[in-house]
Structure 1
Amino acid sequence: MSERVMPGRTDGLITLGAADALWVGLTAGSAVPTASGAFTCSPARARAGYVLLGGHVVATVRSGGGQWGVSQVEVRRAAAELNAVGADRQDLVRIGPFRGAPKQRSSEETPLRWRRRIAEELQEPSGPGRAARREVGRPHHLAGIDWRRILVERTRDGTQRTWWLPRTVVRLLDAAEHAETQWVQAARDHRAGTAGTEPPSRPRQVRDTDGRRMTSPGGPTASLRPYGKELEGQLYSVLSRKPGTSRRVAGWACAVCRTAPATVLDHCHEHGYVRAPVCQSCNTQERPDHLYSNDIRVANRYTRLFHTHADAWLHHWHRCPGCRARTTLPLPHLAAWTAHTACRPLRPTHRAPGGRKPCGVLRVSWTGSQNAPRSCLFTVAVDFCPSGEHRVLARVPYREAAERFRTWLAETAPAVAATAGPDRLDGLPAQSRPVVVDTSGEGLALF
């Protein structure tokens, strides 16, 4: 592969066009597809002094002749790290659209904001004009990643579209967005004379004692610190109004996966207490898939939430003092657990190539409210049954579901269960302060 070295430079700088070709060539076999134009097409910001490659910031340099270049060593390093990333295309994260999401216009001056950019492009009307607009610089890559090749679009009820990306790619783009924010802030501090060093060009990854990847000193996420219960027992409605909360959250690593910067403050929508700062990927993973205000489709991700990674997620949910003291889960989560775990033996199977497979798609709805447990009833059903049978599998009262959960919790996560119960927390209000109205009301918006 030929690389056009910048004339008069002996420090390994290559032109932006050569860097584009080098990036694509080095990542041709990556599980995460990449795109050309990572250095020269929007939303690349080479003339701002940096570009994003995967989850990393790579510095660009302007020569005496006014030409911009980049270190080929840094490009090769970023490509090698991306090639080492695996992508499970079955482990998907919904990236939009979500109800009530504000519509904002992007420009060359705004940071990556990759979710907004994808939403803007996908919501454009199709037609010949759209292709023409792309040719004059419409975003077609994000951080060098060709997201269109791995985007999954699903249609619900024949009209509503939803968009999904592999979890690995979501975390890469979240890391890129966070790294860009840190870079811009460091550059401002440097220009203002408040920092003694140039903005870092890339983070270096190391592994902690649990084998999880963490960021070492010297990178844009070097200031991240593990969450240590600093916000435990605080109400989200109060904390979210305090100035500086967003910046404080961004200083933590995600309290669940511990491999990505925190971007949101996860909280219990039922009791109102803060759980912990988490990344967008983990926050989306635990989001119930609402069909209606009181109706959930039980997706495949619940296998991870209640089986393979149950201990970590149960610990996270019980960071809410209300859930911990009552040894329960918020209503949508308890409903999903009841359908996915407690009613699993009731789910029929059908013949299929390679053996029998579970029938259709599980769904759970409820009537009444968790604030009036006697009136609350879960109904577990199967949608999309090949034979049109098995409509309703079970009807489980809320109190029975909560009691089953307590028993299951003690068997599945004894360490979590040992810290739960009404005698484990003094001073908890006798009456919870829900953030949302009862499920029997109108205008419910849990998430």
Structure 2
Amino acid sequence: MRPSPAGRASPEAGRVVSGGCHPVAMISQKLAVRYLADEMEGCPVPMTPESFRIKRWAEHDYVFFGHVPVRAYKHANRWRFSEPDVRGAVRTIAALPWDPEDLIDPRLDAHGKSDPLATTHSGWRTEIQNMIRRAAATEREEKGCRCGPLYCQQEETDWGLPCSLTPDALLQRCSSYTMACTLPVPTLVWVDDTWLIPRTLVYILDQQQEAESKLKAAAQQCSGCGAHSTDPTWRAPSTTGWKVLCPACTAAKLRSYRQELKGVAYARVRERGPRAEDFLCAVCETPRPATNWDHCHQHELIRGPLCGSCNTAEGQGKEFLARKGSVQHLLRCDGCRTQRTFPLHHRLAALRLYLHRKLGAQGCDWLIHMCVNINETGEGGYDCTVRCPGQGTSGSRGLRLTAAEAEHILSLMLEDGEGAKSS
């Protein structure tokens, strides 16, 4: 590790806050990354200091560097960190033993015991498995598959090597994939019929997963009535951190959106309109504070106020339509409703949702884009595969939609949305 420069202070590190009996130097996120990189020099543990950043819609006030939580503080709408906390996190990681050849089965913990969390649908193990499956799917899309043009029939095991994917291809595609500022993919080793991972990295990720679970489970107090809950939806961002409001207090303090801005251009609202923060989210059934004015990017018209979670989901386009009331919300754009069309980035999502409802496993609670794969053909149609995790090849369904069939499905989804809107 590089020793800290003596006698020099960054202008970004000038602000202090009270930390017990002594003031603590606070640094920006950018400077925290620089300090992490300096302290990590010469450390063999595969870490990425540049990935150290607070999530936009985090469920707690900590950023993990490996398994070490570092508290974040918000002032004047900017997140800052305690310099001693940042340096302490790096030194904790650097003190760990690292042997890239001390490999273990990822279904075991760092002590070689079976991990009960290894078979759940959450956690770092599932995240790596999903990443491997996505890489394999991309390989098949680009290079084809011996199992056939529509879908792969090879059975996938939890830690197997999916059809069309090689260890070198995984490394090439996913070497920069990060988890809690670690780089797991370059450390994976394919042996016989499974992946192996360094013991120290298993320890880091297991400890991080346990610590984050505890942070998410910690009760928070409503700033309005004082009620306590572990529900993360009570949290909403503010210029000084997070404000915590229960649904009852949220509904009492904020306005319901009644399409006051129907047909109004987003540019006008952005310049002179009301604040989205004064409204409830127009999609969430449970009252949540809105954070953004959502608008149609094709027609530039306001659709309504959304909370951070809904606004992010709408922008990504993959899972937003799975939320109740989402189609009705999209149709608040006069242009989309008049033209009877979905925004472009929701068209594939609407097809996936329809196929999952018709052909997916009953009661499947996986993300829809993980169950339904759609590729456009040269004729304007789509090659589709529907396979929910756990179904195996026997439950896999492959079909080809013509352009006309796809448009018919989209029309049905719009009609469902309009029907729900008028009911």
Q: Same fold (TM over 0.5)?
A: no
- Given the two structures, how large is their TM-score scaled by the length of structure 1? 0.40
Larger fraction in helix: 2
